[in-house]
A and B are shown apart, each in its own frame.
Chain A
Amino acid sequence: MKPLSRIMAIVKKEVRQLRRDRLTFGMVVGLPVIQMLLFGYAINTDVRHLGTAVANQAGTHLSRQFIAELKQTQVVEITDFVETANDLDALLRRGEISIGVFIPRDFDRRVGQQSRAAVQLLVDGTDPTILGVANQLRTMPFGFDSAHRETGAQQLIEVRPFYNPERRSPVNIIPGLMGVILTMTMILFTAVAIVRERERGNLELLINTPLSSTELMVGKVIPYIVIGLLQLALILGVGRLLFDVPVRGSVLDLYLAASAFVAANLALGLLISTAATTQFQAMQMMVFILLPSILLSGFMFPFDGMPTFAQYIGEVLPNTHFIRLTRGIMLRDAALTEMLADLLYLIGFTVIAMIAAALRFTKRLD
């Protein structure tokens, strides 16, 4: 039982040191909360309240009804009513509005006809997101009176988003954000773990004791697994409280997946730690992992839309697999057993990275 008690000695030491290291301790709690707020509120890919002006040349009951329904989508915020298409043009050019709605004189007749568009949307195309929104507006059903609706229903395609009917970004972002936050904090903690002791001279003492490399590695990882799971609870709590993000699947499954993911990141951090000679170097190496973990994991951009080469890189990253697991469990009510491949990848990644780290870390100075 000597190895076990030695591992526990390392664990105890790490916890004590962590408790006294206010900055790191603050990061455990602060980093997830700040990131949640940043991503949840600021990075909002669904667009609402776009500045809009309307030129209603028809002035009929039907046209006013159309405007009312357009308002109800909340996508547009009508700020101006103008007379002509030229007025809309001017407003667009000055950047005062993003969308101009032009309703021609013969609007009522066109709605009935189907062959010609009834309404023209003049869109500020410099922002592709806004253009996309406008395209969506075009396909949105407008429930005029029953006579018109029949013809309209054929013409206009209804878009009904699954799993996120309100199309709120946080619901989609937060499961992915969990992965990004955990990648950032877990790798950060362990990447500096060994290097810091090397820099402070502690390592020269440790390698002269009966402590083995594996005992040191395992002892260093255990406290952070607990911290990782606490962070997960924090993220889920804030997500629920502020953004109303659901957990549709099993919470136990989520925690199992997260445990494997946390372990994978810690092992990766240790591997960095054995390769770097200074804490600064460890940080630099961490950036190389973190950036692709944000950009290529499917967190920011849909995985299927990426070039094949980028997908290969993405497949290597633990975060990619974790994001698939969390989106599945939290949003689609998938069971962990349905996504075993991703789970097994994380476990395999952990084992290989741990072995590599223990091998790289020799109890010698030369």
Chain B
Amino acid sequence: MHAEFAIEARGLSKDFGKLRAVSSLDLTVPRGQIYGFLGPNGSGKSTTIRMLCGLLTPTTGSATVLDTEIPGDSKLLKPKIGYMTQKFSLFGDLTVFENLQFIAEIYSYPVADRRKRIDELLERYDLVEQHQQLAGTMSGGEKQRLALACAVLHHPELLLLDEPTSAVDPQSRRDFWENLFRLAGAGTTILVSTHYMDEAERCHRLAILDHGVKVADGTPQELQGDTGMNVIEVIADNPYAARGAIHDLEEVASVTQLGIRLRVLIPDSYDDPRELVERALASSNMTASTSMTAATLEDVFVAVTLKPPRKST
């Protein structure tokens, strides 16, 4: 019987020596959805993905991945998952076609259908022209398409993608996500890690990781509606000076500059946050306009990764 969730992790932790890379992570990933891991470098995204596919043994905790227990014999799991590594991991000295052929052989894809499947993938991932090219000589976007084609060749139920778009241009990223939505639409569960906000926003659900701890999870909408912060946008002639005026207010959780705009986060336990900001600006003789605005995912990220007594630059 299929479990309801593709992945269910219970208190997963991983230590590397003294460093706790992942700390008691609970996770439920529904089938057929794109689930995002958002977090900075070193937040434990890769380590979690590697534990989930059996590459790393959890120090404590356990998980059920596609009805297979982790830790345990991950042999049965391998044919059911597709894995795309952060670094390009196909063979640079084999051609595109040879790489696909090799993967098909390794996964024992039925011989009769092999050629058809490879042609299909070349077509789908726009690699027909490059099929005789050595993989190592291709552009970042092409390599990424090949890596995805190889990861999905054997029709995996679960796709684990470790920062798949970190080395490609925005257009390639858009195309890549189109492909992910198509795969999810066909029933594939996708777990993808990223440090791009716009990508995180595209996920059905996402978890924000910080220093190995899951600090928030939910749909992007839920997370944006539930920051516990008011967001005030300030447009100032001299935003950097304005920032200085606001930053030291003890009510202010964070100030982020975006060009001439400032986004000011103030916990919703304070009343009249907008007035608070305006008063601070006026007392420093700043000309600026302020407005209340909805939280973006970036605001969410800033809010949940704030160190609890806030005192930083």
Tell me the residues in window 181-204 of chain A with beta carbons closer than 8 Å to chain B beta carbons.
200-204
Interface string of A8-33 (1 = CB under 8 A from B): 11001100110011000000000000
User: In the complex, what distance in Å separates the CA atom of A280 from the CA atom of B56?
Assistant: 26
A337 close to chain B: CB less than 8 A: no
Interface residue stretch chosen among A205-213, A281-289, A310-318: A205-213
Chain A residues in 8 Å Cβ range of B90 = 202, 205
User: In the complex, what distance in Å separates the CA atom of A209 from the CA atom of B94?
Assistant: 18
A147 close to chain B: CB less than 8 A: no
User: In the complex, what distance in Å separates the CA atom of A234 from the CA atom of B103?
Assistant: 35
A129 close to chain B: CB less than 8 A: no
A68 close to chain B: CB less than 8 A: no
User: Shortest distance in angstroms between B269's beta carbon and chain A's nearest beta carbon?
Assistant: 43
A17–B108 touching, CB < 8 Å:
no
A6 close to chain B: CB less than 8 A: yes
User: Shortest distance in angstroms between B45's beta carbon and chain A's nearest beta carbon?
Assistant: 15
A8–B105 touching, CB < 8 Å:
yes
Chain B residues in 8 Å Cβ range of A206 = 106
User: In the complex, what distance in Å separates the CA atom of A8 from the CA atom of B105?
Assistant: 9
User: In the complex, what distance in Å separates the CA atom of A329 from the CA atom of B91?
Assistant: 43
B78–A202 touching, CB < 8 Å:
no
A201–B85 touching, CB < 8 Å:
yes
In the complex, how many residues of chain B place their beta carbon closer than 8 angstroms to a beta carbon of chain A? 29
B211 close to chain A: CB less than 8 A: no
Q: A201-B89, A202-B89 are in contact. Are A366 and B56 (CB under 8 A)?
A: yes
- A202 touches which one: B91, B107, B108 (CB < 8 A)? B91
User: In the complex, what distance in Å separates the CA atom of A201 from the CA atom of B162?
Assistant: 13
User: In the complex, what distance in Å separates the CA atom of A364 from the CA atom of B14?
Assistant: 14
A6–B108 touching, CB < 8 Å:
yes
B55–A364 touching, CB < 8 Å:
yes
B4 close to chain A: CB less than 8 A: no
Chain B residues in 8 Å Cβ range of A16 = 93-94, 98
Q: A201-B85, A365-B56 are in contact. Are A210 and B102 (CB under 8 A)?
A: no
B79–A17 touching, CB < 8 Å:
no
B94–A210 touching, CB < 8 Å:
no
User: Shortest distance in angstroms between B82's beta carbon and chain A's nearest beta carbon?
Assistant: 9
A2 close to chain B: CB less than 8 A: yes
| A17, A203, A205, A211: most-surrounded residue (chain B CB, <10 A) | A205
A5 close to chain B: CB less than 8 A: yes
Chain B residues in 8 Å Cβ range of A20 = 93, 134
Interface string of B255-278 (1 = CB under 8 A from A): 000000000000000000000000
Q: What DSSP secondary structure best describes chain A's contact surface?
A: helix
Chain A residues in 8 Å Cβ range of B54 = 363-364
Chain B residues in 8 Å Cβ range of A202 = 89-91
User: Shortest distance in angstroms between B162's beta carbon and chain A's nearest beta carbon?
Assistant: 9
Interface string of B52-83 (1 = CB under 8 A from A): 01111100000000000000000100110101
B218 close to chain A: CB less than 8 A: no
- A205 touches which one: B50, B57, B85 (CB < 8 A)? B85
User: Shortest distance in angstroms between B115's beta carbon and chain A's nearest beta carbon?
Assistant: 15
Chain B residues in 8 Å Cβ range of A207 = 55
Chain A residues in 8 Å Cβ range of B150 = 205
User: Shortest distance in angstroms between A146's beta carbon and chain B's nearest beta carbon?
Assistant: 75
A210–B75 touching, CB < 8 Å:
yes
B124 close to chain A: CB less than 8 A: no
User: In the complex, what distance in Å separates the CA atom of A38 from the CA atom of B75?
Assistant: 51
Chain A residues in 8 Å Cβ range of B83 = 205, 208
Tell me the residues in window 336-363 of chain A with beta carbons closer than 8 Å to chain B beta carbons.
363
User: In the complex, what distance in Å separates the CA atom of A207 from the CA atom of B92?
Assistant: 18
A9–B102 touching, CB < 8 Å:
yes
Look across to chain B and name the residue whose beta carbon is closest to the beta carbon of A364. Answer: B55
| B89, B90, B106, B107: most-surrounded residue (chain A CB, <10 A) | B106
Q: A20-B93, A21-B93, A204-B89 are in contact. Are A210 and B98 (CB under 8 A)?
A: no
- A200 touches which one: B75, B92, B103 (CB < 8 A)? B92
- A211 touches which one: B55, B88, B106 (CB < 8 A)? B106
User: In the complex, what distance in Å separates the CA atom of A12 from the CA atom of B94?
Assistant: 11
Look across to chain B and name the residue whose beta carbon is closest to the beta carbon of A365. Answer: B55
| A6, A200, A203, A206: most-surrounded residue (chain B CB, <10 A) | A200
B55–A9 touching, CB < 8 Å:
no
User: In the complex, what distance in Å separates the CA atom of A211 from the CA atom of B54?
Assistant: 14
Look across to chain A and name the residue whose beta carbon is closest to the beta carbon of B83. Answer: A208
Look across to chain A and name the residue whose beta carbon is closest to the beta carbon of B92. Answer: A200
User: Shortest distance in angstroms between A284's beta carbon and chain B's nearest beta carbon?
Assistant: 25
B78–A204 touching, CB < 8 Å:
no
User: In the complex, what distance in Å separates the CA atom of A20 from the CA atom of B103?
Assistant: 19
Look across to chain A and name the residue whose beta carbon is closest to the beta carbon of B78. Answer: A210
B87–A201 touching, CB < 8 Å:
yes
Chain A residues in 8 Å Cβ range of B89 = 200-205
User: Shortest distance in angstroms between B49's beta carbon and chain A's nearest beta carbon?
Assistant: 10
User: In the complex, what distance in Å separates the CA atom of A205 from the CA atom of B55?
Assistant: 10
Chain B residues in 8 Å Cβ range of A204 = 55, 85, 87, 89
Q: A200-B92, A202-B91 are in contact. Are A208 and B108 (CB under 8 A)?
A: no
User: In the complex, what distance in Å separates the CA atom of A16 from the CA atom of B94?
Assistant: 7
Q: Residues on A close to B: CB < 8 A?
A: 2, 5-6, 8-9, 12-13, 16-17, 20-21, 200-211, 363-366
Q: Residues on B close to A: CB < 8 A?
A: 50, 53-57, 75, 78-79, 81, 83, 85, 87-94, 98, 102-103, 105-108, 134, 150
22 A-B pairs whose Cβ atoms sit less than 8 Å apart in the complex:
A5-B105, A6-B106, A6-B108, A9-B105, A20-B93, A20-B134, A200-B89, A200-B92, A201-B88, A201-B89, A202-B89, A202-B91, A204-B55, A204-B85, A204-B89, A205-B150, A207-B55, A210-B75, A210-B108, A364-B55, A366-B56, A366-B57
With A17-B93, A202-B91 known, 5 other A-B pairs at CB within 8 A are: A6-B105, A13-B98, A205-B150, A206-B106, A210-B79
Q: Which 10 A-B pairs have the closest CB atoms?
A: A9-B105, A205-B89, A201-B89, A208-B83, A201-B87, A210-B78, A2-B108, A209-B106, A366-B56, A365-B55
